[in-house]
Structure 1
Amino acid sequence: MTQIDRSRLRWPDRIPVGVCHHAAFHTQSPPQTLPVYREFMRGEMERIAESGFNAFVLECGWNEVETGDDVWDFTRVDAVRNLCREYGLSIGLWIFAELTPVWVARSYPEALAVSASGYRSDSHSYAHPTGRRLVQRLIEKVLERYGDDPGLMGCNIGVESGFHWLQVPDSDRYCDTLFDYNSAAIDHYREWLRLRYETLDGVNLAHRSAYPEWESIEPPRARPMLECARMRSSHVPWLDWRQAQCDMMTDYLAFKAACVRKAAPQVPVSDQSYEIHPARGGQDLWSISAAMDVVGTSMFTSNAPGDYMRGNYLQDYHRSSAKDRPFWIWELRAGQNAWGVTNWGPPVRMTDIARFTWQVLGQGAKAIFYWNWRPHLGGVEVGGHGFTERDGAVTDRALRAGRIARALQDPAKNLLRFQMPPARIAILDSPASRIVAEGEGSDTLVLDAQRGLHALWKAQGFPVDFVSEDEVQNGALERYQLLGLPFQYLMGAECADAIRDWTKRGGTVFGGLWCAAKDALGYGQAIVPGHGLDELFGGREVRVEPVFSSADQPVTNFGAAWNVGITGRPRFRWADWPQGKPPASDLAGYRYAAALRPYEGARVLAVNSLEEPAALWNACGEGQAILFGSLPIVEDEFAASGLAALAAEAARAAGVKPPLTIMNRAGRQWEAKLLVGDRGDAVVIALNMQPEEAWMEIHIPGLSISRAMDFETDEPLSLHSAHDGVTLSIRVAGGDARAALCLPQSLQE
């Protein structure tokens, strides 16, 4: 990738907190004359500013601003931009190129995306040069008009980027929604293969094929589970094809980012990847983020059970891909979900909004925009996703978010100078594992296992990062003490070697079922864990069995079946424990149970009902490795389960300690987060996911703090010294969140 010069970028000096507005998306609002629209938006902007917000999303949808080939209409966008200036609102600019105008389909049919079934979408292909030429013209026109605006804080060029924006037929067939088979995308695939394998013989060897020439190579049009059932193809073309599509998506987004940098080099460029799906969506977050100045995402977390920790996972995942660059939330939930008449979510309360907001701030977000100000009046989201009532009346939700926004503008509370404590635990992310699993039916288990292990550590107060295989091979593990491999279905030999070497030098590894079961091409390993990692873990898998719950329909060995419902939870009895007595709770996994064969020197921690080993602990050089013969997915992510105890013991053995601890949590759905300032100050964020009021005792070691106050209200909070730090006593209403600004003596007036 081309080296990016970020020396000229202009950054906000406070955390921007703003809103989107459905009426800025012209096709989503009722028809109005320009004067009527301008006055309507004036009233909206006035209430937005009065409520405490300081930023606004200025949306430039391609389908709305270019009404014909090189025919432009910015009148409504100009009106909104001028109102942003009038009310002192910073601008987050969305250049929404994924919304392809209808005239493109009529004028340039060769530039349209094509699905695996041959369906030609009305959306442009991200690979086709004509589509890119038109998108470049769009970006240049928009930035010619708004690029020098002094209020412009950033440019979003990939609004929830991915293939899901492509127009598809009204069909539930997989092949109708699998993209992109435009000739330009296929040409990109062939070039990608040339770079990977160098020769046609190399491709034929890997694909088990006999292509006579490069031009004869065609991508697969079905998942391997369908093709291989008829013994017609190898799984490798599927993996290569979808990886090539991820590469094409990254190249498209990097192309748009380069267009912005050329036109407005002072403006930070962001993507807004969301619902990452490497196989279906064409998204490799690691490569996409490398092309951006800011890593952005949407965050439509909810108040349903389990959604809080899911939000933590998504935020850590995106934040980790940012590395040393800012992490922004371009869309945070402001109101209940609404999709037509069939999908309405539960109402969102003022306390929920505070919890959503403090959660993302505690996860390192440096800008927030809410979706959106007023409930929709057009489109499929009518009545939902708004801070106000339908008639525009401001709610307590908007006022609470505005109060937080105002507090963030106080120089003493400027969270731009506060950072999360560095994580010492990392989880390896592998887009290729998800692509292979999707080709075999679904990537859900890979994703759920990753979320499960993350929740086990996160609920106990440990900061957690994610790392990619490329980063591991380039030495990224040196920053960490503990590595999680929850369901690392596919792994390259170089990555496995890097993990083994790091462990021997003192690292700790926690591995789950089918670790490195397949190599970099997706071929199965004779021994699992693969690539010699069985020696690292001190054992191997000898048998894997499905575990059915009473609600499941057990499968037979006759015939092929895909995506079978298997929801049982295998339970294992503790046989040993590294230090002291084993936990009171049994060790439980999910869906599958593996019998393990331990090698000499490995300790058997748990056994199945047949007294066969199900969990191992092995010393490896100066480090250690834990192998769990199931998937690390729990029912209650906050409960004091046996699996949670094993995850905590792995952290203890690795020498990892949480930066703060809720002393009286006892399995309750509470969490505390720490942000450390550059002046010896800190912010402690207390989050209560339960409906009952919480009194939390939060111990923060290693900080010399003498005073604490509520971040939003300046109310004094109870703080007392402990032998190695301080303990904060804080009351949090049911479902709410509070933040405490903690000051050393040197910063007190």
Structure 2
Amino acid sequence: MLKANHLHFGGDYNPEQWPKEVWAEDIRLMQKAGVNLVSLGIFSWANIERSEGQYDFSWLDEIIEMLHEGGISIDMATATASPPAWLTKKYPEVLPVNFDGVTLVHGGRQAYCAASEVYRTKAAALVEKIAERYAKHPAVVMWHVNNEYGCHAPYCYCDQSKKSFQDWLKKRYASIEDLNSSWGTDFWSQRYYSFDEVPVPSRTPDGTHPNPGQQIDFKRFSSDVTLELFKMERDIIKRYDKVNPVTTNFMSMKFTYAMDYFEWAKEVDFVSTDHYLAQHDPHNYIDLAQQADLTRGFAKGKQWLLMEHSSSAVNWQPRNYAKTPGQEKRNSMSFVARGSQGAMYFQWRQSQAGSERFHSALVPHAGEDTRVYREVSELGALLKAHPDISQYETDRAEIAMVYDYEQFWALMQANMPTEDLSYPETVATWYRSLWESGLRVDFVHPDATAVELSQYKLVLMPMVHMLSDKQEAEFSNYAKQGGNLVVGYFSNISDRTLRVKLGGYGGQLVKELIGVYVEEFYPLRPDQTLKLTNGLEAKLWSELSRLNGAELVASFSGSDVDGSVAIAKRNLGSSTAWYQGTELTLESQKKFFSGIAAELGIKSEGSDHAEVVHRGPYRFEIDHKANTVSITKH
């Protein structure tokens, strides 16, 4: 695992972008700023293997020795994130093919198909050389496999991918008839008689879309086949280094969805992630907190590492606003409060050329005499002053929220009751309403058992569209055994194959446990809002429903379904279960959750602009309005 009694500080270092006379200056500035770790070699394949089988490690050897002599540890990368031009020229079949059948060319990054045997063979050979050479070097303290898997070309629709997808389906389904039944292929004459008839779900005739079960299985396959790449590289490294941990950087960001990080987290030695703010959002610190809490959920509450974030502006948003004075410290310490073992960045020195030349860095274009360098140096000193923070886990919250990448995949599909449905936006609204009410939350996967859920006073289920019978039973048992539950609209509509559960929407969880019978969906018009009978305000969604044993909290009014259930609850003896059959506005969601929290005696700390987080004996108070950070130890 990660080094004990130590907080990491540094970032991606790309010395190959600079003449050697800059390297000594880099080491000096790193020491001055308090940098103790750099990620090295992430995009260096073309500089290491200059032609097929011809390796040059001389420059890498030199900079590793310089870093080691300077007291700076190395997160050693495998350099496989971007294949070199010689590889894609000689083996063009490694290039990915997009949804419309267009081959994506060399010149960006991640220009490879995850199913490509050629890519795997060449990547494995490179990793073997790097691991063999540097596994025992004292400067290497961890391993960084590839980079941001699935960020740019997560889905490939080439013939190699089709064959790999068919093989994946053979393992998933007992027979082709099992697949037909799960996907409902008798609709539109989609029935298959052998697995080799199954295509990848790419472009279909206008106005039609691929089978929903096929679509979500392809996303599962894409995450799995990419995870195989990570495991391949990890296993090579571990043949040479059985001591230092191996990771790859996830992307815990609001609209990043291609890889199932709950599954990936099972395969890394420790969870690491990248996060970049939407700087145009004045409440972006809440999204930061949400994604940090979600990352801790991947790690099952254990410490993790922020592998990348920005010192100031990024270069890929429509308008790349710079961070304001003091914001960087607030951002970084919010990550640390929530379990990160430090703060790492992209990148050390701002590039002079290339696509990311206007992406910020610890050393900007203007150099050392800058606010950015001074502020990150202050942060380095702050982290160095509190190394024992790393010994403690962030305190468990009293509220858990269910999160699942497969829900994301399911609700991205076309032909839904309304195009206004957004899984990430609903989750974000629920989270923000808690954050601004001073209520902390942990994230859990829907595979959590009733015993695991019992650690929490309250479990929230925002738009958990798919549940297996087992998952549904675990949430029901949690509520029956004393746990309090809030189920959001459009939840438990389907099983995990996207086949709709019949006999009243919401299945047994909504119809029997809570006691609401939902007949039909009535999406609201754009910009339409409704005042519910208890004074709360709703938008986006209503439904035709009636009580089936529950107690009415609020009904719809001024709608097409007046009198139908908007919010209901049921007393289960030692606990309560609520059903929220609509999307509440932010202020109404805050009132709803604050009322429940007060009823359950859940502790609230902070305000709508200040967060309070406890990590062992440490209390972090970060005020985003006053622009202050306070760390106290009791």
TM-score scaled by length of structure 1:
0.77
What is the alpha-carbon distance in structure 1 between the residues aligned to residue 444 and residue 420 of structure 2? 19
What is the alpha-carbon distance in structure 1 between the residues aligned to residue 264 and residue 438 of structure 2? 29
What is the alpha-carbon distance in structure 2 between the residues aligned to residue 356 and residue 630 of structure 1? 33
Secondary structure, counterpart of 2:309 in structure 1 = strand
Offset, 1:259: 1.9
Secondary structure, counterpart of 2:344 in structure 1 = strand
Q: Which residue of 2 aligns with 1:425?
A: 399
Q: Which residue of 2 aligns with 1:622?
A: 574
1:87 aligns with 2:70: yes
Q: 2:124 aligns with which of 133, 136, 153?
A: 136
Q: Which residue of 1 aligns with 2:596?
A: 650
Superposed CA deviations along residues 615-669 of structure 1, whole A, max 9, x for unmatched, are: 11112353221111212552xxxxxx332121123334445334xx23xx4xx41
Q: What is the aligned length?
A: 615
Q: 1:522 aligns with which of 488, 498, 512?
A: 498
Q: 2:552 aligns with which of 590, 595, 603?
A: 603
Q: Summarize the Cα distance change of 1:195–1:379 in structure 2 as closer, same or farther, 3 Å threshold.
A: same
Q: 1:101 aligns with which of 49, 61, 84?
A: 84
Q: Which residue of 1 aligns with 2:337?
A: 362
What is the alpha-carbon distance in structure 2 between the residues aligned to residue 101 and residue 373 of structure 1? 23
Offset, 1:687: 1.6
Q: Which residue of 1 aligns with 2:422?
A: 445
Offset, 1:302: 5.1
Q: Which residue of 1 aligns with 2:100?
A: 117
Superposed CA deviations along residues 40-71 of structure 1, whole A, max 9, x for unmatched, are: 12112201211222222212422332121111
- Conservation of the 8 A alpha-carbon contact between 2:514 and 2:550: no
Q: Summarize the Cα distance change of 1:613–1:117 in structure 2 as closer, same or farther, 3 Å threshold.
A: closer
Matches within 5 A, 1:506-517: 506-517=482-493
Paired amino acid for 1:399: R
Q: 2:9 aligns with which of 17, 21, 24?
A: 17
Secondary structure, counterpart of 1:346 in structure 2 = coil
Q: Summarize the Cα distance change of 1:204–1:544 in structure 2 as closer, same or farther, 3 Å threshold.
A: closer
1:545 aligns with 2:436: no
Secondary structure, counterpart of 2:136 in structure 1 = coil
Q: 2:40 aligns with which of 58, 78, 89?
A: 58
Matches within 5 A, 1:316-465: 316-323=293-300, 325-339=302-316, 343-410=318-385, 413-440=387-414, 445-465=422-442
Offset, 1:144: 2.2
Q: 1:685 aligns with which of 615, 620, 632?
A: 620
Q: Which residue of 1 aligns with 2:61?
A: 78
Q: Which residue of 1 aligns with 2:52?
A: 69
Q: Summarize the Cα distance change of 1:47–1:532 in structure 2 as closer, same or farther, 3 Å threshold.
A: closer
Secondary structure, counterpart of 1:387 in structure 2 = coil
Q: Summarize the Cα distance change of 1:469–1:53 in structure 2 as closer, same or farther, 3 Å threshold.
A: same
- Conservation of the 8 A alpha-carbon contact between 2:5 and 2:391: no
Secondary structure, counterpart of 2:533 in structure 1 = strand
Q: 2:222 aligns with which of 224, 227, 245?
A: 245
Offset, 1:614: 1.3
Name structure 2 gaps, 5 residues minimum. Answer: none
Matches within 5 A, 1:193-342: 193-207=169-183, 208=185, 209-222=190-203, 229-230=207-208, 234-274=211-251, 282-301=258-277, 303=279, 304-323=281-300, 325-339=302-316
What is the alpha-carbon distance in structure 2 between the residues aligned to residue 240 and residue 439 of structure 1? 12
- Conservation of the 8 A alpha-carbon contact between 1:453 and 1:633: no
Matches within 5 A, 1:544-623: 544-548=521-525, 566-574=526-534, 586-609=535-558, 610-623=562-575
Superposed CA deviations along residues 212-270 of structure 1, whole A, max 9, x for unmatched, are: 322222222148xx77x44x863221122221222212222222222222221212111
Q: Summarize the Cα distance change of 1:179–1:468 in structure 2 as closer, same or farther, 3 Å threshold.
A: same
Q: Which residue of 1 aligns with 2:614?
A: 674
Paired amino acid for 1:646: F
Q: Summarize the Cα distance change of 1:322–1:51 in structure 2 as closer, same or farther, 3 Å threshold.
A: same
Structure possessing the higher relative contact order (Cα contacts under 8 Å, 6 or more residues apart): 2
What is the alpha-carbon distance in structure 1 between the residues aligned to residue 193 and residue 543 of structure 2? 44
Secondary structure, counterpart of 2:271 in structure 1 = strand
Q: Summarize the Cα distance change of 1:262–1:651 in structure 2 as closer, same or farther, 3 Å threshold.
A: farther
Q: Summarize the Cα distance change of 1:205–1:259 in structure 2 as closer, same or farther, 3 Å threshold.
A: same
Paired amino acid for 2:517: R
Q: Summarize the Cα distance change of 1:633–1:251 in structure 2 as closer, same or farther, 3 Å threshold.
A: farther
What is the alpha-carbon distance in structure 2 between the residues aligned to residue 604 and residue 491 of structure 1? 25
What is the alpha-carbon distance in structure 1 between the residues aligned to residue 343 and residue 301 of structure 2? 18
Q: Summarize the Cα distance change of 1:590–1:249 in structure 2 as closer, same or farther, 3 Å threshold.
A: farther
Secondary structure, counterpart of 1:67 in structure 2 = strand
Paired amino acid for 2:114: Y
- Conservation of the 8 A alpha-carbon contact between 1:421 and 1:675: yes
What is the alpha-carbon distance in structure 1 between the residues aligned to residue 501 and residue 145 of structure 2? 41
Paired amino acid for 1:608: S
Pick which of 355-364 and 268-277 moved more: 268-277
Superposed CA deviations along residues 564-584 of structure 1, whole A, max 9, x for unmatched, are: xx344433231xxxxxxxxxx
Name structure 1 gaps, 5 residues minimum. Answer: 1-8, 167-177, 549-565, 575-585, 635-640, 677-681, 691-733, 744-749
Superposed CA deviations along residues 513-544 of structure 1, whole A, max 9, x for unmatched, are: 11112222112233122244322222133443
Q: Summarize the Cα distance change of 1:404–1:234 in structure 2 as closer, same or farther, 3 Å threshold.
A: closer
What is the alpha-carbon distance in structure 1 between the residues aligned to residue 422 and residue 576 of structure 2? 26
- Conservation of the 8 A alpha-carbon contact between 1:449 and 1:632: no
What is the alpha-carbon distance in structure 1 between the residues aligned to residue 268 and residue 223 of structure 2? 16
Paired amino acid for 2:152: W
Paired amino acid for 1:211: Y
What is the alpha-carbon distance in structure 2 between the residues aligned to residue 282 and residue 407 of structure 1? 35
- Conservation of the 8 A alpha-carbon contact between 1:596 and 1:615: no
Matches within 5 A, 1:34-45: 37-45=19-27
Offset, 1:281: 6.0
What is the alpha-carbon distance in structure 2 between the residues aligned to residue 494 and residue 351 of structure 1? 48
Q: Summarize the Cα distance change of 1:324–1:607 in structure 2 as closer, same or farther, 3 Å threshold.
A: closer
- Conservation of the 8 A alpha-carbon contact between 1:467 and 1:476: no
State, as a whole percentage, how many aligned pairs show the same letter: 17
Q: Which residue of 2 aligns with 1:497?
A: 473
What is the alpha-carbon distance in structure 2 between the residues aligned to residue 256 and residue 188 of structure 1? 19
What is the alpha-carbon distance in structure 2 between the residues aligned to residue 467 and residue 621 of structure 1? 25
Secondary structure, counterpart of 2:23 in structure 1 = helix
What is the alpha-carbon distance in structure 1 between the residues aligned to residue 524 and residue 490 of structure 2? 16
Offset, 1:504: 0.4
What is the alpha-carbon distance in structure 2 between the residues aligned to residue 443 and residue 93 of structure 1? 43
Paired amino acid for 1:102: A
Superposed CA deviations along residues 433-487 of structure 1, whole A, max 9, x for unmatched, are: 22222221779711111122122223333332222223348x5323322111111
Offset, 1:85: 1.4
What is the alpha-carbon distance in structure 2 between the residues aligned to residue 202 and residue 20 of structure 1? 47
What is the alpha-carbon distance in structure 1 between the residues aligned to residue 282 and residue 521 of structure 2? 31
RMSD over aligned Cα atoms: 2.7
Q: Which residue of 1 aligns with 2:135?
A: 147
Paired amino acid for 2:69: E
Q: Summarize the Cα distance change of 1:64–1:383 in structure 2 as closer, same or farther, 3 Å threshold.
A: same
